[in-house]
């Protein structure tokens, strides 16, 4: 290694010596001397460095000691000087304070003396004036009271007479209408009850068929297992018989070989042939038995195929029954919708009858505006018949639109008409957001406010905006979330800006008929709930929270536009909620249906099958959580107000609660844990009280998983464990639980008996006799709720879109700096 590192060549290595060429040893010695010299120089350099540094450190310590002593002397001198200056300042301060206090006390005493005299004089003058004023007020009050009381008595007598006559007339009219609506509602309720009974019968039949199918599959599996065991036993017997035949043949062959040649061969051959014949007969018998066993196996296979065909027929019948159940459920839902519409109309009529004022012209005008005429044209009820004006209404609207466009606008010139066209073209596109504020809503509001469209008696800009929104809405969650954000923001701005004028209800007869038809179309197409009736739009609620927006006295078109915008907001909200329900409904069905386990898994062990089933159901729950995350992400990206997001997920969790509680399923607790984790991750800002909507299924699951149910009394169950559940619901979940399957015990027989007694006592109560929960699909908010929950929108820093930015007619949209 040394020679290779030096680069020497031509040397030879022996066993104990190395042979070098001439001059190579000198090179090695020179290299050795060089290495030793370098090492010596390194050692000398380190020693000299150490000595020099030691001397430097000693010198530095001495210098530091001298400097510290000298600085201490200087600090002592400076401290003495500062102490003397502080003493001098203190003496000066005390002397000046003494002089200033003496002068202040003198001036204060003089001022107090002057103020006392002036205040006494002022008080005497004030007392004299008040005494005179009080006497005059008493005289005036007595005279005015006499005049007002006499006028009030005469006015009260006339008003009572007028109100009694008018209220009698209005009450008779409303009583006739309510009687007609009550007849229709009663018929719908009877049909609904019949369909519910039919659905319950079909569900029980479906469960019975499912149980029969499972029993048939188990019997079939047992028969197949028995036939396999018999076939295996026969095969073993055949193999043993063949082995015995082979052994006997070998024994006979050995006996023939070992026999001496002198012995006669004929008898031996005869004996061997007899043995062979007997063995052959046994083989034939075994073959016959094998054939009989194979025939029995074929018969078993044929029986199995027949059972499979019967099973397929039962599956087809089950599918047909499920389709019938779905159809009946759809018909029940349609009847419920019709019933809800009729109830909403009855409630609106009742509110209108209560809101009617008994005074002169304003009363008649309000009645004309609020009460809709029941005519066949607008799709309302007339003489107990309902008509849906799908084609006729569209045809009339298509005829009226060209007529209204051909008429010249009284308050808009041609330039404003072009600006309106450009605005409609602009908002038909996706303008996005500026920060968290939708650009389209802010631009529409600023344009309408600048053009004074809210104060105009006749205009078409509102109808064109509504038509644009209606054409842009499609069954796409991103588009629906975008327009939900825009419509809620625009409605908030309108709620803070518009105020209903007294002349808004005094409209011509032609416009009143148009509004009635529009309201009829919206009530049928959008299924507006009673909470979102049009009465809340015309009230002045929520206008006291205006900060920077100025209020405008709105005319009839502006108020109608606000009402239509609210209807579209409710429609978009309902579409998003229903889309999410449709997406998670199949997953909920998979979570509710218990997955079937094979016979082999039952043989291996119940714990392993339970683990597999639980993993499958948790996968379905995770798919539901992914759907919730996707919808939350869509609404967050489109800046939907958190109030509406909370309402969506609250109703979705209520739907999950109803579906889980009304059906049977396993491993629900793991799914509830997944939903609770999602609520905590989504935060209370977006989840809200969604977790509280699962209280029924949470309490039911908590009641079923405890192992001490027989020790619990009915009072403890109803007050502590399940305070939300009714007696009927507790009886349902207590009797449907299988103790031999889950390894726990149900409630005691005394508790079941008490439940039955309480159920018979409450059988007349329609609310308490419900075994299942009902899903609420109404709109859970009003315009006032949106106005109170959303923050004020700042529209000053919104940049207009590029399509209208360069247009001079939209210069008011630009910021002030531009």
Write out the two tokens for 379.
């799709």
- Of 622, 639, 656, the position where a domain reaches its end is 639
- The whole-angstrom separation of Cα 574 and Cα 648 is 9
789 half-sphere exposure, CB direction, 13 A CA radius:
19
Q: 3-class SS at 390? A: coil
Residues 564 and 689 in one domain: no
Enter the pTM of the model.
0.46
Residues 743 and 659 in one domain: yes
Q: How many CB atoms lie within 10 A of CB 330?
A: 10
Residues 6 or more apart whose CB falls under 8 angstroms from that of 293 comprise 230, 231, 234
Query: Is the predicted pLDDT of residue 766 greater than 60, yes or no?
Result: no
The band of 330, judged by pLDDT with boundaries at 50, 70 and 90, is: confident
Residues 6 or more apart whose CB falls under 8 angstroms from that of 240 comprise none
783 vs 580, more confident: 580
- The whole-angstrom separation of Cα 525 and Cα 218 is 51
Query: Is the predicted pLDDT of residue 375 greater than 60, yes or no?
Result: no
Taking CB atoms within 8 Å and a gap of at least 24, the contacts of 379-388 are 379/520, 379/521, 379/524, 380/520, 381/180, 381/181, 381/184, 381/345, 384/180, 384/183, 384/184, 388/524
CA angle 545, 551, 557 (to 5 degrees): 120
DSSP string, 636-691: HHTT--HHHHHHHHHHHHHHHHHHHHHS--S-HHHHHHHHHHHHHHHHHHHHTTTG
Query: Is the predicted pLDDT of residue 595 greater than 70, yes or no?
Result: no
The answer to whether residues 747 and 710 touch, using CB atoms and an 8 Å cutoff, is: yes
pLDDT at 147: 94
Write out the two tokens for 100.
């200033």
DSSP string, 234-249: HHHHHHHHHHHHHHHH
Residues 722 and 691 in one domain: yes
3-state helix, strand, coil in the chain (%, to 5): 80, 0, 20
Q: Which domain holds residue 586?
A: 429-501+549-594+613-639
Q: How many CB atoms lie within 10 A of CB 541?
A: 15
pLDDT at 359: 36
Report the candidate in 585, 758, 769, 662 with the shortest Cα–Cα distance to residue 193: 769
Residues 582 and 625 in one domain: yes
- Asked whether residue 570 is domain-assigned, the answer is yes
Q: Give the DSSP letter of residue 724.
A: S
- Asked whether residue 759 is domain-assigned, the answer is yes
The answer to whether residues 390 and 517 touch, using CB atoms and an 8 Å cutoff, is: no
Q: 3-class SS at 377? A: coil
- Asked whether residue 713 is domain-assigned, the answer is yes
Residues 440 and 558 in one domain: yes
The band of 198, judged by pLDDT with boundaries at 50, 70 and 90, is: confident
- The whole-angstrom separation of Cα 261 and Cα 673 is 93
Average pLDDT, rounded, for the chain = 75
- Asked whether residue 356 is domain-assigned, the answer is no
pLDDT at 549: 55
Report the candidate in 555, 594, 589, 579 with the shortest Cα–Cα distance to residue 648: 579
Give residue-wise pLDDT tens across range 103-124. 999 999 999 999 999 999 999 9
Report the candidate in 447, 453, 460 with the shortest Cα–Cα distance to residue 406: 460
The answer to whether residues 532 and 779 touch, using CB atoms and an 8 Å cutoff, is: yes
The answer to whether residues 434 and 799 touch, using CB atoms and an 8 Å cutoff, is: yes
Residues 621 and 674 in one domain: no
Report the candidate in 217, 783, 238 with the shortest Cα–Cα distance to residue 540: 783
Report the candidate in 473, 658, 689, 435 with the shortest Cα–Cα distance to residue 568: 473
Quick one: residue 156, left, alpha or beta (phi over 0 = left, psi -120 to 50 = alpha)?
A: alpha
Query: Is the predicted pLDDT of residue 606 greater than 70, yes or no?
Result: no
Residues 621 and 474 in one domain: yes
Q: What percent of the chain has a predicted confidence (pLDDT) above 70?
A: 77
Report the candidate in 192, 337, 474, 473 with the shortest Cα–Cα distance to residue 777: 337
- Asked whether residue 700 is domain-assigned, the answer is yes
Query: What is the average pLDDT across 556-578?
Result: 88
DSSP string, 778-792: S----HHHHHHHSPP
Give the total number of structural domains in the chain. 2
Residues 714 and 634 in one domain: no
Q: 359-363, 534-538, 775-779 — which is least confidently predicted?
A: 534-538
Q: 3-class SS at 431? A: coil
Query: Is the predicted pLDDT of residue 479 greater than 80, yes or no?
Result: yes
Residues 555 and 687 in one domain: no
Q: What are phi and psi of 766, to 5 degrees?
A: -70, -30
Give residue-wise pLDDT tens across range 28-83. 899 889 999 999 999 999 999 999 999 999 999 999 999 999 999 999 999 999 99
- The whole-angstrom separation of Cα 700 and Cα 729 is 9
Q: How many CB atoms lie within 10 A of CB 805?
A: 14
Residues 622 and 757 in one domain: no
- Asked whether residue 673 is domain-assigned, the answer is yes
Residues 657 and 675 in one domain: yes
Highest mean pLDDT among 125-134, 215-224, 228-237: 125-134
The answer to whether residues 519 and 534 touch, using CB atoms and an 8 Å cutoff, is: yes
- The whole-angstrom separation of Cα 671 and Cα 618 is 6
Query: Is the predicted pLDDT of residue 380 greater than 80, yes or no?
Result: no
Residues 567 and 658 in one domain: no
- Asked whether residue 671 is domain-assigned, the answer is yes
- Asked whether residue 341 is domain-assigned, the answer is no
- The whole-angstrom separation of Cα 501 and Cα 686 is 37
Q: Are strands 437-438 and 433-434 parallel, antiparallel or unpaired?
A: antiparallel
Q: Where are the alpha helices (DSSP H) in 356-431?
A: 360-370, 391-406, 414-427
Query: Is the predicted pLDDT of residue 668 greater than 90, yes or no?
Result: no
The band of 501, judged by pLDDT with boundaries at 50, 70 and 90, is: low
The answer to whether residues 311 and 221 touch, using CB atoms and an 8 Å cutoff, is: no
Query: What is the average pLDDT across 452-476?
Result: 84
- The whole-angstrom separation of Cα 453 and Cα 560 is 13
């Amino acid at each position: 290694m040394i020679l290779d590192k030096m680069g020497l060549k031509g040397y030879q290595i022996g066993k104990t010596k190395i042979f070098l060429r001439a001059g190579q040893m000198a090179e090695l010695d020179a290299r050795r001397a060089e290495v030793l010299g370098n090492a010596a120089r390194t050692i000398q350099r380190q020693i000299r460095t150490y000595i020099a540094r030691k001397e430097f450190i000693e010198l530095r310590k001495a210098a530091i000691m001298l400097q510290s002593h000298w600085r201490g002397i200087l600090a002592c001198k400076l401290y003495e000087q500062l102490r003397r200056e502080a003493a001098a300042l203190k003496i000066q301060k005390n002397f000046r304070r003494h002089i200033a206090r003496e002068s202040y006390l003198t001036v204060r005493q003089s001022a107090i003396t002057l103020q006392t005299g002036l205040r006494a004089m002022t008080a005497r003058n004030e007392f004299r004036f008040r005494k005179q004023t009080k006497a005059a007020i008493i005289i005036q009050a007595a005279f005015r009271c006499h005049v007002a009381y006499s006028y009030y008595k005469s006015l009260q007598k006339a008003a009572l007479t007028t109100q009694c006559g008018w209220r009698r007339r209005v009450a008779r009219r409303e009583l006739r209408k309510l009687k007609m609506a009550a007849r229709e509602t009663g018929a719908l309720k009877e049909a609904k009850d019949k369909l519910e009974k039919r659905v319950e019968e079909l569900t029980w039949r479906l469960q019975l068929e499912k149980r029969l199918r499972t029993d048939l599959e188990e019997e079939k599996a047992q028969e197949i297992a028995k036939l396999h065991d018999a076939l295996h036993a026969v095969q073993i017997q055949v193999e043993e018989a063949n082995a015995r035949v082979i052994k006997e043949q070998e024994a006979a062959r050995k006996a023939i070989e070992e026999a001496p040649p002198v012995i006669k061969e004929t008898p031996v051959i005869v004996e061997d042939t007899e043995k062979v014949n007997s063995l052959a007969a046994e083989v034939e018998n075994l073959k016959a038995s094998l054939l009989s066993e194979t025939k029995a196996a074929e018969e078993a296979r044929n029986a199995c195929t027949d059972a499979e065909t019967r099973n397929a027929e039962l599956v087809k019948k089950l599918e047909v029954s499920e389709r019938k159940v779905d159809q009946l459920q759809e018909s029940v839902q349609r009847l419920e919708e019709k019933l809800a519409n009729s109830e909403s109309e009855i409630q609106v009529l009742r509110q209108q009858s209560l809101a009617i004022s008994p005074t002169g012209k304003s009363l008649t005008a309000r009645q004309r505006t609020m009460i809709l005429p029941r005519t066949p044209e607008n799709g309302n009820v007339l003489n107990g018949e309902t008509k849906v004006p799908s084609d006729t209404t569209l045809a009339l609207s298509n005829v009226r639109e060209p007529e209204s466009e051909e008429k010249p606008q009284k308050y808009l010139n041609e330039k404003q008409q072009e600006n309106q066209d450009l605005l409609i073209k602009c908002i038909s596109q996706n303008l996005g957001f500026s920060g968290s504020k939708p650009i389209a809503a802010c631009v529409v509001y600023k344009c309408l406010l600048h053009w004074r469209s809210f104060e105009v008696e006749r205009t078409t800009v509102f109808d064109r905006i509504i038509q644009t929104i209606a054409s842009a809405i499609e069954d796409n969650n991103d588009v629906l979330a975008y327009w939900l954000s825009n419509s809620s923001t625009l409605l908030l701005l309108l709620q803070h800006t518009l105020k209903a004028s007294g002349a808004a209800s005094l409209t011509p007869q032609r416009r009143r008929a148009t509004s009635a038809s529009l309201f009829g179309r919206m009530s049928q197409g959008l299924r507006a709930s009673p909470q979102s009736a049009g009465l809340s739009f015309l009230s002045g609620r929520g206008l006291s929270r205006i900060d920077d927006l100025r209020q405008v006295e709105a005319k009839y078109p502006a108020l109608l536009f606000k009402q239509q915008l609210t209807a579209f907001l409710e429609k978009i909200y309902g579409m998003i909620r229903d889309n999410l329900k449709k997406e998670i409904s199949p997953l909920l069905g998979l979570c509710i249906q218990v997955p079937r386990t094979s016979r082999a898994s039952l043989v291996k062990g119940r714990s392993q099958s339970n683990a597999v089933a639980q993993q499958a159901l948790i996968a379905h729950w995770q798919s539901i959580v992914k759907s919730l995350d996707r919808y939350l992400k869509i609404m967050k990206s489109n800046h939907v107000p958190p109030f509406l997001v909370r309402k969506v997920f609250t109703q979705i969790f209520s739907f999950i609660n109803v579906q889980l509680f009304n059906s049977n399923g396993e491993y629900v607790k793991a799914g509830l844990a997944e939903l609770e984790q999602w609520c905590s991750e989504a935060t209370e800002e977006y989840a809200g009280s969604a977790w509280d909507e699962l209280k029924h299924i949470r309490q039911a699951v908590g009641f079923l998983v405890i192992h001490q149910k027989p020790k619990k009394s009915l009072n403890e169950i109803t007050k502590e464990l399940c305070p939300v559940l009714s007696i009927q619901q507790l009886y349902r979940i207590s009797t449907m639980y299988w103790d031999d399957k889950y390894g726990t015990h149900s409630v005691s027989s005394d508790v079941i008996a008490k439940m039955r007694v309480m159920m018979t006592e409450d059988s007349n109560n329609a609310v308490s006799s419900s075994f299942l929960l009902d899903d609420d699909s109404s709109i859970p908010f009003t315009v006032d709720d949106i106005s109170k929950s959303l923050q004020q929108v700042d529209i000053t820093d919104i940049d207009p879109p590029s399509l209208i930015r360069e247009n001079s007619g939209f210069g008011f949209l630009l910021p002030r700096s531009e």
